[in-house]
């Protein structure tokens, strides 16, 4: 039972004496509701927060007499059966046994996988030593190879090289290790000490939580601040009494008592009106700040006084006060910001710009911060990011920190905020809600011209598969395919070229009778093109998404965007490319390598457009003007890293590279070229590595779109 807008992660009946039914999953359409039937009769259910992926979690109580449970997804007038489960004592006993034995099953599977990887590593090791040294390894290299082998064995057999930030217990362990390894820094005297006005809207919050919030500010190591509170006509006497108590407690606390309830936008604006600081800090009335949050902000301002916005990483506090669900953010990423309000908390803004753009807008409640950040960054792109968890967001039932479903109106208002941003920027585009975030697909009145460049040497079978998928599946009209023939010798390939020349007017061949140099081959082809946009495409790819050119060119035609990359899959539907992160495992690595095609990824990175430092050239689009502006591909980099270098040249020019996961292709990876199996090729590879370190060490050491807290050996995990 497949439903396009519902993805089920778990559905089972459990409880031997008192049966219950639970179903968890995620949605692609927020307007979906559910109906649960037991033996054909509708029954009530509770909706619980699904904190891992902001999806849905439904639970219903059953009786022992009920035999069959059916779940329907309701979208408008349409009802689709998505799940059937049997309810019998035997089924529930089996479910209990499965749940009890699952940890053991996982452990056994892990042990099996570990031994499989052990023998695979041994095999790869022999292959490497034969290729490089014909097993006659120089004594000087034995130490290096044995250390590398030891590290690999630790990775295979020891649990704990990496921690998953999405698992609360593992994040807690990371926090403990961080505190041990990096004790709190000494607060130093700063030359520039601007006043920061903390603006906080208040409404019916408990004394306990409001006190914790205010105390976390009063205890700050940086002291030049004021707290501007706006009570939004609270009806809770405890809230009012707490405000009056703190108002007397410290002269830096100012409170305005609104005469009518105006909700969060009006209330926050009231707090801003009494603010006298050069900067304002945004905070909710039940959250807390790290002791050095304001100090870290001002320290960054001392390094760069021109910054107008500074934001930090954040996490959440559960009802027991334990920290979980960290958000380790990238530096300023305009396309990511259109997909979601990734900036969120803690954010400090220059007040004169907030005043200039009119503060918070009424009618955008639930998404008021996102709307403000979109408007603010249209006025100033002087944005700084502190990669430290300095804000703790309280997970109270009913808050958006607990589940977005509790404020579903926020999604619609968030969508409106993004639509408004496109209108202000005079950009045509359609915004849809996907996985509780926003997907922008740009529109245009006339199709720009596109040249798809495919280099090949022989391998007619793979090249045919690639060409056939392009010509039969592409639903875009204004394109040409430029096949670059690099010293082919097989007749099958020449027959294929003749066939496609006769069959398609928009197919042509460029001969490149030179030694293999990927950069030079593509540069030669681009010089023959007159199209507005260029697609670099490997001949070992196969198209999946029919709208690929339409979607990619929509992004590539935006003034601020450099390259557009896509989701590439191995034949087993696991991820081969989903953006490139620098400095991971060496110079660069593909993000989410080996993840399932259906996974939405950490922070929905596999479901929505995000900015990355680079994309692979296996399938990459860029405007021809921008391609030439940075001098095309670097011809000194004959094989490796030329695409990374190209992306970074665009980044240096001020462009942003973006990964769009809604476009998918299969990539069978370097079939035509084969592996680097000679000493000569190995030397060339080492030279290209050296070139990259010499030229781009600042990005390799610190990728602006990959948070420094993440591991340098496994992307988007934490080191233990």
pLDDT-wise least confident of 130-134, 445-449, 715-719: 130-134
Contact 470, 481 (CB under 8 A): yes
pLDDT-wise least confident of 172-186, 231-245, 348-362: 172-186
Question: Are 377 and 242 found together in one domain?
Answer: yes
Q: What is the reported pLDDT for 405?
A: 41
Q: What is the reported pLDDT for 159?
A: 53
Asked whether the predicted pLDDT for residue 488 surpasses 80, the reply is: yes
Q: What is the reported pLDDT for 720?
A: 80
Asked whether the predicted pLDDT for residue 674 surpasses 60, the reply is: no
Asked whether the predicted pLDDT for residue 679 surpasses 80, the reply is: no
Select, from the ranges 75-89, 109-123, 267-281, 587-601, the one with the highest average predicted confidence (pLDDT): 267-281
Question: Are 615 and 666 found together in one domain?
Answer: yes
pLDDT, one tens digit per residue, over 35-68 is 999 999 999 988 764 433 446 788 899 998 899 9
Residues forming a β-bridge with 565: 620, 659
Asked whether the predicted pLDDT for residue 401 surpasses 50, the reply is: no
Q: Return d(Cα 327, Cα 25) in angstroms, integer.
A: 21
Cis link prior to 598 (omega < 30° from 0)? no
Asked whether the predicted pLDDT for residue 161 surpasses 70, the reply is: yes
Q: Return d(Cα 451, Cα 533) in angstroms, integer.
A: 6
User: 21 in a domain, yes or no?
Assistant: yes
Question: Shortest CA distance to 583 belongs to which of 675, 650, 653, 648?
Answer: 648
**What number of residues does the chain have?**
720
Q: What is the reported pLDDT for 678?
A: 55
Q: Return d(Cα 702, Cα 605) in angstroms, integer.
A: 19
- What element of type H or E holds 426? none
Q: What is the reported pLDDT for 536?
A: 98
User: 117 in a domain, yes or no?
Assistant: yes
First-to-final CA distance of the chain: 41
What percent of the chain clears pLDDT 90, i.e. is strictly above it?
69
Sequence-distant (6+) residues with CB within 8 A of 516 are: 457, 486, 487, 638, 639, 673
Question: Are 467 and 533 found together in one domain?
Answer: yes
Asked whether the predicted pLDDT for residue 681 surpasses 80, the reply is: no
Contact 505, 480 (CB under 8 A): no
Question: Are 484 and 608 found together in one domain?
Answer: yes
Question: Are 202 and 344 found together in one domain?
Answer: yes
Asked whether the predicted pLDDT for residue 262 surpasses 80, the reply is: yes
pLDDT, one tens digit per residue, over 603-615 is 999 999 999 999 9
Question: Are 28 and 65 found together in one domain?
Answer: yes
Confidence class for position 7, pLDDT limits 50, 70, 90: confident
Q: What is the reported pLDDT for 56?
A: 79
pLDDT, one tens digit per residue, over 318-377 is 888 899 999 999 999 999 999 999 999 999 999 999 999 999 999 999 999 999 999 999
User: 441 in a domain, yes or no?
Assistant: no
Bigger pLDDT: 347 vs 83? 347
Output DSSP code: residue 121: H
Asked whether the predicted pLDDT for residue 675 surpasses 50, the reply is: no
Tell me the average pLDDT across 705-720: 92
Question: Are 72 and 123 found together in one domain?
Answer: no
Bigger pLDDT: 241 vs 141? 241
Select, from the ranges 8-17, 358-367, 404-413, the one with the highest average predicted confidence (pLDDT): 358-367
3-state SS assignment for residue 476: coil
Boundary (domain end) residue, out of 60, 87, 114: 87
Question: Are 214 and 294 found together in one domain?
Answer: yes
Tell me the average pLDDT across 191-216: 96
User: 416 in a domain, yes or no?
Assistant: no
Q: Kindly report the CATH number assigned to the domain that includes residue 538.
A: 3.90.550.60
Q: Kindly report the CATH number assigned to the domain that includes residue 73.
A: 2.60.40.10
Q: Kindly report the CATH number assigned to the domain that includes residue 395.
A: 3.90.550.10
pLDDT, one tens digit per residue, over 531-573 is 999 999 999 999 999 999 999 999 999 999 999 999 999 999 9
Asked whether the CA dihedral 336, 337, 343, 344 is positive or negative, the reply is negative
Strands 588-590 and 610-612: unpaired
pLDDT, one tens digit per residue, over 573-583 is 999 999 999 99
Bigger pLDDT: 678 vs 368? 368
Confidence class for position 138, pLDDT limits 50, 70, 90: confident
Select, from the ranges 110-119, 270-279, 455-464, the one with the highest average predicted confidence (pLDDT): 270-279
Name the residue range of residue 456's domain: 450-719
Question: Are 82 and 105 found together in one domain?
Answer: no
pLDDT-wise least confident of 27-31, 245-249, 402-406, 633-637: 402-406
Question: Shortest CA distance to 567 belongs to which of 603, 531, 613, 600?
Answer: 600
Q: What is the pTM of this model?
A: 0.78
Q: What is the reported pLDDT for 100?
A: 66
For the chain, the domain total comes to 4
Question: Are 233 and 205 found together in one domain?
Answer: yes
User: 183 in a domain, yes or no?
Assistant: no
Q: What is the reported pLDDT for 156?
A: 59
Asked whether the predicted pLDDT for residue 239 surpasses 80, the reply is: yes
DSSP per position, 567-599: EEE-TTSBEEES-EEETSSSSEEETTTT-BTT-
User: 346 in a domain, yes or no?
Assistant: yes
Q: What is the reported pLDDT for 160?
A: 57
Question: Are 118 and 79 found together in one domain?
Answer: no
Question: Are 635 and 670 found together in one domain?
Answer: yes
Q: What is the reported pLDDT for 398?
A: 45
For the chain, give the mean pLDDT.
89
User: 185 in a domain, yes or no?
Assistant: no
Q: What is the reported pLDDT for 354?
A: 98
Asked whether the predicted pLDDT for residue 402 surpasses 70, the reply is: no
User: 109 in a domain, yes or no?
Assistant: yes
């Amino acid at each position: 039972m497949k439903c396009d807008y519902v993805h089920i992660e778990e559905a089972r009946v459990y409880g031997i004496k008192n049966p219950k039914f639970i179903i968890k999953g995620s949605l692609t359409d927020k307007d979906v509701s559910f109906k649960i039937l037991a033996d054909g009769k509708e029954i009530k259910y509770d909706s619980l927060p699904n904190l891992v992926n902001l999806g849905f979690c439904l639970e219903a109580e059953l009786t022992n007499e009920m035999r069959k449970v059916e779940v329907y997804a309701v979208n408008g007038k349409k009802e689709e059966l998505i799940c059937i489960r049997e309810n019998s004592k035997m089924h529930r006993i089996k479910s209990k046994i499965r749940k009890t034995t699952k940890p053991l099953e996982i452990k056994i599977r892990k042990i099996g996988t570990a031994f499989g990887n052990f023998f695979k590593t041994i095999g790869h090791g022999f292959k490497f030593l034969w290729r490089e040294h014909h097993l006659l390894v120089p004594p000087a290299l034995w130490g290096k190879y044995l250390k590398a082998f030891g590290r690999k064995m630790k990775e295979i057999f020891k649990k704990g090289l990496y921690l998953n930030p999405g698992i609360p217990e593992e994040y807690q362990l990371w926090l403990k290790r961080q505190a041990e390894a990096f004790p709190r820094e000494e607060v130093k005297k700063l030359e520039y000490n601007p006043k920061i006005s903390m603006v906080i809207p208040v409404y019916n919050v408990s004394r306990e939580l409001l006190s914790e919030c205010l105390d976390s500010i009063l205890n700050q190591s940086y002291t030049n601040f004021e707290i501007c509170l706006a009570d939004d006509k609270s009806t809770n006497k405890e809230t009012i009494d707490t405000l009056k108590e703190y108002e007397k407690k410290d002269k830096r606390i100012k409170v305005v008592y609104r005469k009518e309830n105006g909700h969060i936008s009006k209330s926050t604006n009231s707090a801003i009106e009494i603010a006298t600081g050069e900067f304002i800090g945004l905070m909710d009335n039940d959250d807390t700040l790290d002791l050095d949050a304001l100090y870290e902000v001002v320290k960054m301002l001392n390094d760069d006084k021109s910054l107008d916005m500074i934001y930090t990483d954040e996490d959440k506090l559960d009802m027991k006060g334990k920290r979980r669900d960290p958000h380790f953010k990238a530096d300023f990423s305009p396309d990511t910001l259109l997909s979601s309000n990734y900036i969120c908390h803690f954010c400090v803004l220059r007040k004169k710009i907030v005043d200039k753009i009119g503060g918070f807008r009424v009618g955008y409640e639930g998404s008021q911060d996102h709307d403000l950040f979109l408007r603010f960054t249209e006025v100033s792109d002087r944005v700084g990011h502190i990669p430290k968890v300095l804000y703790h967001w309280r997970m109270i039932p009913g808050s958006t920190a607990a589940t977005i479903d509790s404020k579903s109106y926020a999604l619609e208002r968030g969508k409106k905020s993004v639509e408004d941003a496109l209108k202000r920027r005079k950009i045509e585009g359609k915004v849809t809600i996907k996985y509780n975030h926003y997907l922008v697909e740009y529109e245009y009145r006339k199709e720009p011209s596109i040249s798809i460049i495919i280099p090949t040497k022989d391998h007619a079978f793979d090249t045919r598969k690639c060409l056939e998928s392009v010509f039969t599946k592409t639903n875009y009209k204004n394109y040409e395919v430029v096949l670059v023939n690099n010293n082919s010798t097989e007749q099958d390939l020449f027959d294929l070229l003749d066939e496609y020349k006769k069959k398609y007017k928009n197919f042509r061949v460029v001969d490149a009778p030179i030694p293999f140099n990927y950069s030079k081959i593509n540069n030669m082809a681009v010089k023959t093109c007159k199209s507005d946009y260029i697609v670099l495409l490997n001949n070992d790819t196969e198209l999946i998404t029919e709208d690929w050119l339409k979607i990619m060119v929509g992004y590539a035609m935006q003034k601020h965007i450099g390259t557009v990359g896509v989701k590439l899959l191995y034949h087993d539907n696991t991820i081969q490319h989903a953006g490139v992160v620098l400095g991971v495992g060496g110079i660069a690595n593909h993000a989410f390598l080996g993840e399932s095609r259906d996974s939405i990824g950490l922070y929905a990175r596999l479901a929505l457009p995000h900015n990355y430092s680079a994309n692979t050239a296996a399938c990459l689009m860029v405007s021809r003007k921008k391609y030439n502006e940075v001098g095309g591909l670097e011809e000194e980099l004959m094989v490796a890293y030329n695409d990374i270098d190209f992306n970074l040249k665009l980044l240096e020019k001020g462009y942003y590279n973006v990964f769009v996961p809604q476009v998918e292709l299969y990539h069978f990876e370097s079939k035509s070229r084969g592996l680097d199996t000679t000493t000569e090729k190995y030397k060339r590879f080492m030279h290209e590595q050296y070139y990259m370190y010499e030229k781009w060490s600042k990005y390799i050491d610190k990728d602006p779109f990959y948070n420094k807290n993440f591991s340098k050996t496994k992307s988007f995990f934490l080191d233990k």
